[in-house]
Amino acid sequence: MSILKLVQVTKEFSLGERKVVALQAVDFELGAQEMVALLGPSGSGKTTLLTIAGALQRPTSGTVEIDGTQIEKMNESQLAVVRREKVAFIFQSYNLLAALTALENVQYMLELKGYRGRHARERAKGLLDMLSLGHRANELPKRLSGGEQQRVAVARAFASDAKLILADEPTANLDYERATELVNLLKALSRDLAIPVLMVTHDYRSAGHADRLFWLEGGAMRPVAAEQVARMAPPVMVRPEGVA
């Protein structure tokens, strides 16, 4: 079953008298147990596609369906319900609550969804355990590494009971090893919890670990192979021996 379905989606913007086509007749489907990476140069329309997929803006034309619900003609209050109940976001800046521990950050999301007391705490702990963070559950975000903070953000997103997770450059602040680890975790959670993930990224190497890859440029979207993406990646910078 497709959780996200875009059919002939076009998005146009007006810059003065000039019309800019950000997306052009995009067709795309995302299944319930897959993790897809979307790549492309800056300004290619990746973020525009993500915001349309997340019910944050409407397409100029075409249809958008999330979990069987067609959303492009909904009013703002209806879209707000879709965003609250069906979509979760992961950002590169983590957006954790600084005064709450890792466990409390995840538990807070569960409580917003109606979980209470011991049930919320145990479910939050279980998600952190799945992400190898159980031993860091009682730490504040400032005491966690960037990779650990991002995994807490991932746990919080999957705790939301969303039908679709949209990740905007989630590996941007991570080195290659941690970025690859995060992509593999997203893929495993997507498969195990049957919640699909669409990730926008510039990280060509770690993106190659996703189930499928797409390239967006000039408003047009097409599938690409991991081998093609790997050839686009810049060389890895190796620190010379003896340099701190």
DSSP assignment of 186-222:
HHHHHHHHT--EEEE-S-HHHHTTSSEEEEEETTEEE
Of 136, 165, 155, residue with least CA distance to 32: 165
CB of 209 closer than 8 Å to CB of 187 = yes
For the beta carbon of residue 33, count every other beta carbon within 10 angstroms: 16
Of 145, 89, 182, 111, residue with least CA distance to 136: 145
Reading the block at residue 233, the tokens are 């990646």
User: Mind listing the pLDDT tens digit of every residue in the chain (244 residues)?
Assistant: 799 999 999 999 988 888 889 999 999 999 999 999 999 988 889 999 999 999 999 999 999 999 999 999 899 999 999 999 999 999 988 999 999 999 999 999 999 989 999 999 999 999 999 999 999 999 999 999 999 999 999 999 999 989 999 999 999 988 889 999 999 999 999 999 999 999 999 888 889 999 999 999 989 999 998 888 777 765 544 444 443 3
The pair phi, psi for residue 155, each rounded to 5°, is -60, -40
CB of 35 closer than 8 Å to CB of 197 = yes
Please count the helices (runs of H) and the strands (runs of E) in the chain.
Answer: 8, 10
The per-residue pLDDT for 240 is 43
Helix axes 146-158, 102-112, angle to 10 degrees: 20
Of 74, 131, 65, 124, residue with least CA distance to 100: 124
Strand, helix or coil at 20?
strand
CB of 66 closer than 8 Å to CB of 102 = no
The per-residue pLDDT for 234 is 58
The per-residue pLDDT for 238 is 40
pTM: 0.89
Supply angle C-alpha 145, 147, 153, rounded to 5: 105
Domains and CATH numbers, the chain: 2-94+163-232 (3.40.50.300)
Tell me which residue has tokens 């903070």.
149
DSSP state, 44? S
The per-residue pLDDT for 237 is 41
The per-residue pLDDT for 236 is 47
Strand, helix or coil at 162?
coil
Reading the block at residue 235, the tokens are 């060389």
